[in-house]
């Protein structure tokens, strides 16, 4: 596929965030090459090194030297999994962009079924886990509870048991590039942009090697970002709770006045008063914290810092001006003999080296 400037663009781009995955990278590369070569189309893979402290960057650099389809973005520090996916989107050139994890829990072979759905005309093919191998009962229960909670309270329809493993058409990626919020929940953003989407079921494998890169602390942070980014329910809950306790207090005053009018002593007791004050004080602090979370996100947006910084961009053909916008109009993609035109503005990434 040729771009407007005459350069050849791959049909598929695969984006893989990497953080301390030196044991997995060689096997991941071999399985990915075998899978993508079987499509008969041109492709590239963009590994986003998210501040790894092991030999991941060394291994990826060596792969890029041996295989020009392998490209590496090396962050200046660890910016997080969701930001790494964002950077991959910014640099991806393919007509379709695939996101997968590096730990081989997302089997590369599933990509072929996603590609088949894309060729049928779907803009997004997201993978839904029917089974999760090698994960604790606690992890399974908390993940299930989170997906059902966010689906219930979110402003958009976020599929159950679907992670970041998915394929997106280029026009979807161009739409995603316009969403530059700092606290990111990529699977929620994918649902927010819309387009024609379909599920692809698969069994999630156990990690090939190493330990999970998403411990409970990071899972809670991701859940917090998801809820505060896609729902106003926590704020509404604070308001409704305030109305409830205000009504309860008003009812208590009425009861106390009625009892007094009929000669009964009003309710007394320091213990009751102390418990009530502590309970209401705790409720107030909880909701102040919730409001603080939303205010903190506003503060992050106002600072307007870049989402990430690139220390090295390895294997890319030419430098690109930072934060520039270039028309991506009239690009033609062939699907089973039919062509379609994309006429969206393309936001280009920070400078490539």
What digits encode the pLDDT tens for the residues 218-275? 667 766 666 766 666 777 777 777 777 777 666 766 776 677 677 666 556 655 666 6
Residues lower than pLDDT 70 in the chain = 1-7, 132-136, 138-140, 143-144, 146-147, 150-154, 206-219, 222-226, 228-232, 248-250, 252-253, 256-257, 260, 263-276, 278, 318-353
278 shares its domain with 317: no
59 shares its domain with 179: yes
Q: Is residue 6 part of a domain?
A: no
252 shares its domain with 283: yes
Q: Where are the beta strands (DSSP E) in the chain?
A: 12-18, 43-49, 70-75, 96-99, 124-132, 162-169, 197-204, 310-314, 325-335, 338-347
Q: Is residue 223 part of a domain?
A: no
Of the candidates 285, 336, 308, 224, the one whose C-alpha atom is nearest the C-alpha of residue 17 is 308
Assess contact for 225 and 183: CB atoms under 8 A.
yes
Q: Give the whole-angstrom CA distance, residue 228 versus residue 263.
A: 51
Q: Is residue 317 part of a domain?
A: yes
DSSP secondary structure code for residue 101 in this structure: -
Q: Is residue 339 part of a domain?
A: yes
Give me the pLDDT at residue 305, please: 82
Q: Which CATH number characterizes residue 168's domain?
A: 3.90.550.10
Give me the pLDDT at residue 344, please: 37
Element (H, E) at 54: none
244 shares its domain with 116: no
Give me the pLDDT at residue 6, please: 47
Q: Is residue 222 part of a domain?
A: no
243 shares its domain with 207: no
Q: Is residue 226 part of a domain?
A: no
Element (H, E) at 307: none
265 shares its domain with 295: yes
- Residue span of the structural domain in which 37 resides: 12-215+305-347
How many domains in the chain? 2
Describe the strand order of the beta sheet including 70-75 as a list of residue ranges. Answer: 197-204, 124-132, 162-169, 96-99, 12-18, 43-49, 70-75, 310-314
64 shares its domain with 186: yes
313 shares its domain with 294: no
284 shares its domain with 163: no
338 shares its domain with 274: no
156 shares its domain with 285: no
Q: Is residue 67 part of a domain?
A: yes
79 shares its domain with 149: yes
Give me the pLDDT at residue 59, please: 94
pTM to 2 decimals?
A: 0.71
Q: Is residue 180 part of a domain?
A: yes
């Amino acid at each position: 596929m040729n771009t407007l400037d005459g350069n050849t663009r791959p049909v598929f781009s695969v984006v893989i965030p990497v953080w301390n995955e030196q044991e997995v990278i060689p096997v991941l590369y071999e399985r990915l090459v075998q899978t993508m070569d079987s499509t008969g189309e041109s492709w590239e893979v963009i590994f986003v090194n998210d501040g790894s402290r092991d030999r991941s960057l060394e291994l990826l650099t060596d792969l890029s030297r041996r295989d020009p389809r392998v490209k590496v973005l090396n962050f200046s520090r660890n910016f997080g999994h969701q930001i790494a996916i964002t950077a991959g989107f910014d640099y991806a050139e393919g007509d379709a962009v695939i996101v997968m994890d590096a730990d081989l829990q997302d089997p590369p072979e599933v990509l072929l079924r996603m590609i088949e759905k894309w060729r049928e005309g779907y803009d997004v093919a997201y993978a839904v886990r029917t089974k999760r191998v090698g994960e604790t009962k606690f992890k399974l229960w908390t993940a299930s509870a989170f997906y059902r909670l966010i689906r219930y309270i979110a402003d958009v329809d976020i599929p159950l048991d679907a992670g970041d493993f998915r394929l997106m058409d280029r026009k979807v990626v161009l739409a995603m590039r316009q969403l530059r919020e700092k606290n990111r929940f990529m699977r929620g953003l994918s649902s927010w942009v819309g387009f024609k989407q379909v599920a692809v079921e698969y069994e999630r494998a156990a990690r090939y090697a190493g330990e999970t890169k998403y411990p409970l602390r990071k899972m809670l942070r991701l859940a917090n970002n998801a809820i505060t980014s896609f729902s106003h329910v926590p704020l509404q809950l604070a308001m409704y709770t305030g109305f409830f306790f205000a009504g309860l207090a008003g009812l208590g005053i009425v009861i106390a006045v009625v009892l007094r009018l009929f000669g009964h002593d009003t309710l007394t007791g320091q213990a009751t008063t102390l418990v009530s004050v502590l309970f209401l004080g705790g409720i107030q602090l909880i909701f102040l914290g919730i409001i603080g979370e939303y205010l903190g996100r506003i503060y992050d947006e106002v600072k307007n810092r870049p989402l990430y910084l690139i220390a090295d961009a390895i294997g890319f053909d030419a430098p690109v001006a930072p934060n520039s916008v270039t028309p991506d109009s009239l690009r033609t993609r062939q699907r089973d003999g039919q062509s379609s035109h994309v006429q969206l503005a393309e936001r280009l990434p920070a400078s490539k080296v």
